[in-house]
């Protein structure tokens, strides 16, 4: 183990960096992204392996820098307490939970909008043509135009990043170290983890529902953050509940 970093965290960082280099160098920055980012399942660009690979992709230098810093900072502490196997299970599970929450949010917007467009008299082929090209077919009312925009946004959405995984790790850190004091770079006020982490999750929920961004770029998949944190919490809650058998977190 390199001083200050555990083995699994180290290997995860290496994989993320290699994937980021691939994104920058393969296919002019687009082909690699189309292969391994997660696309909306209705989109023709969706491939099954993207369910896993998107967790190791990032959209830019700042994105990967902050995520890898958080992975090193909190992941090392959590892996030390959980062990490598449980840490990796938690990490991947949180990423999958994040994906399900975000895709669920997209479908929540997509299906009603798609149904409204079909009810307006458009055929499935016409609707899909609009979603692929962003060109209006026929004459639509303002309500139908809004539905078309919502459906288009969901259909063309893509997800990248380890943020959901890291939110699960952050939730685990908070449950195991509730009195640890944390602070934001731009808000240097120490706050206990048991207050800090729920606060971050609440802000993500508000951002997802209102579109108001507090600390992250406006294109952040906020519901993925929420899904990752909730998944991490539930796994840790289960392990803590069964702490007197083989599933306890410190075995």
Q: How far is residue 108 CA from its own chain's centroid?
A: 17
What distance in Å separates the CA atoms of residue 204 and residue 129, rounded to the nearest whole number? Answer: 33
Among 208, 206, 203, smallest CA distance to 221 is for 208
Q: Is 38 helix (H, G, I), strand (E, B) or coil?
A: strand
Predicted TM-score (pTM) of this structure: 0.86
Q: How far is residue 62 CA from its own chain's centroid?
A: 16
Q: Is 39 helix (H, G, I), strand (E, B) or coil?
A: strand
Nearest-Å Rg of the Cα atoms of the chain is: 20
pLDDT at position 50 is 97
pLDDT at position 1 is 44
For 119, residues 6+ apart whose C-beta sits below 8 A from its C-beta are none
What distance in Å separates the CA atoms of residue 229 and residue 226, rounded to the nearest whole number? Answer: 5
What distance in Å separates the CA atoms of residue 21 and residue 209, rounded to the nearest whole number? Answer: 33
Among 171, 188, 41, smallest CA distance to 102 is for 41
Among 52, 24, 59, smallest CA distance to 38 is for 52
Judge contact between 97 and 34, C-beta under 8 A. no
pLDDT at position 206 is 79
- Each residue's pLDDT, cut to its tens digit, for the chain (251 residues) gives 445 899 999 999 999 999 999 999 887 778 899 999 999 999 999 999 999 999 999 989 999 999 999 999 899 999 999 999 999 999 999 999 999 999 999 999 899 999 998 988 888 988 898 898 888 777 778 888 888 899 999 999 999 999 999 999 999 998 888 777 776 555 567 777 777 777 777 877 777 677 666 555 555 677 898 899 999 999 999 998 776 455 554 55
Judge contact between 16 and 161, C-beta under 8 A. no
Token duo for residue 131: 């979603």
What distance in Å separates the CA atoms of residue 34 and residue 48, rounded to the nearest whole number? Answer: 12
């Amino acid at each position: 183990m390199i001083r200050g970093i555990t083995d699994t965290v180290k290997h995860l960082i290496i994989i993320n960096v290699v994937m980021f280099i691939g994104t920058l160098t393969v296919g002019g920055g687009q082909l690699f992204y189309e292969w391994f980012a997660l696309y909306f399942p209705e989109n023709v660009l969706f491939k099954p392996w993207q369910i896993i690979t998107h967790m190791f992709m990032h959209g830019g230098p700042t994105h990967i820098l902050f995520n890898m810093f958080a992975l090193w900072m909190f992941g090392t502490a959590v892996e030390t307490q959980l062990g490598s196997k449980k840490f990796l299970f938690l990490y991947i599970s949180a990423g999958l939970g994040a994906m399900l929450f975000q895709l669920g949010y997209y479908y929540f917007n997509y299906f009603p909008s798609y149904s409204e467009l079909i009810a307006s008299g458009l055929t499935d082929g016409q609707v899909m043509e609009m979603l692929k090209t962003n060109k209006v077919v026929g004459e639509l009312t303002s309500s139908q135009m809004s539905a078309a925009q919502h459906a288009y946004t969901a259909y063309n959405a893509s997800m990248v990043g380890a943020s959901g995984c890291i939110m699960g790790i952050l939730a685990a850190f908070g449950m195991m170290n509730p009195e640890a004091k944390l602070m934001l770079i731009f808000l240097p006020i120490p706050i206990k983890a048991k207050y800090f982490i729920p606060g971050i999750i609440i802000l993500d929920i508000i951002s997802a529902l209102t579109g108001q961004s507090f600390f992250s770029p406006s294109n952040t998949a906020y519901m993925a953050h929420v899904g990752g944190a909730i998944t991490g919490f539930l796994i840790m809650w289960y392990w803590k509940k069964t702490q007197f058998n083989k599933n306890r977190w410190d075995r």
